[in-house]
Chain A
Amino acid sequence: MQKTVKVRVTRLVLDTYLLKYYNKRKTYFAHDALEQCTVGDVVLLKALPERRTKHVTHELAEVVYKVGNVVDPLTGKRVAAYQYLEPLSDPAELSAERLTEKIQQLNLTATATPSH
């Protein structure tokens, strides 16, 4: 299959007797023009306005998390489960002069604050 990806989509469905939500799987075929996906990627699909072929009804909107190369959206750094693969702050920024500059910019004074 060229330029097509098989995507498993899970939605939460309520079991009527147990009243608990379980993941229900459904597979969709999506059109991927650039063939950039591999097995294990988390992907965002967008419904096509009209059916492209008998089975392909959606297209790839974007790759959300690439397998092995997950990027944390909060910091923008590469990440692996519990750790950051890239250092969070630039090592040059942590030198003594830079830190003293930053502290001086904050303009802290030792006045006593009124207690509650």
Chain B
Amino acid sequence: MPMKGRFPIRRTLEYLQKGEVVFKNSVKIMTVNYNTQGELSEGARKFVFFNVPQIQYKNPWVQIMMFKNMTPSPFIRFYLDDGQQVLVDTEGKDYREITQHIKKIMGKTPEVLQAEALAKMVASNPANFGPKKYCLKECMCEVEGQVPCPGVVPLPKEMTGKWRAQMRAAED
């Protein structure tokens, strides 16, 4: 698929995964009000164009809605779990400033993110073998550098139980 349109890099998985903002669990809805014309909404427009896909990718369970040309001044509103609302004025701000501000007020801190990543790693122990749902590998033969599966490649004669039994019988 060729890269079509303005800034097609926004439509790559790598760009989406590079999003920095991961919202806290209490944030349920994010609403962006901005105008299609005017210098004051420029930052909000760029924010919606560049950063909202990244935010939605990292927070798939947050509902994001855009409202255009409803009020003269642009703002962002968050609706939290307990009914609280957080209002962020974005008039005249740069889209990078807006992202940093949102990350500071509503985002998870790097420590919390690291702790979560660690907890996820603990769940997947490479030393365990079993069904794909619970473990990484099902059998030792799938690991690189180990003896391949005898169902695919026959084992050398010396490793088969049949040969070992014959040798043991020959010794006696």
Contact = CB atoms under 8 A, between A and B. Distances in A.
A106 interface: no
Interface string B5-30: 00000011100100000000000010
A63 interface: no
Interface residues of A, number: 25
Interface stretch (B66-74, B95-103, B155-163): B66-74
Given A21-B53, A65-B70, A82-B35, A74 B75 contact: yes
A14 B67 CA distance: 19
Interface string B33-56: 001011000000000000011001
Nearest to B64: A12
Interface residues of B, number: 29
Interface string A61-92: 10011000010111100010111100000000
B79 A70 contact: no
Contacts of A20: 11, 53
A19 B72 contact: no
Contact of B16 (A17, A19, A72, A82): A19
A82 B83 contact: no
A79 B71 contact: yes
A82 B69 CA distance: 7
A72 B64 contact: no
Interface string A35-64: 000000010100000000000000001001
18 contacts: A17-B1, A18-B11, A21-B52, A21-B56, A44-B29, A44-B79, A61-B83, A64-B31, A72-B72, A72-B73, A74-B87, A79-B70, A81-B70, A81-B72, A82-B35, A82-B72, A83-B72, A84-B72
Given A19-B11, A75-B73, A82-B38, 7 more contacts: A10-B65, A12-B52, A19-B13, A20-B11, A65-B70, A72-B71, A74-B73
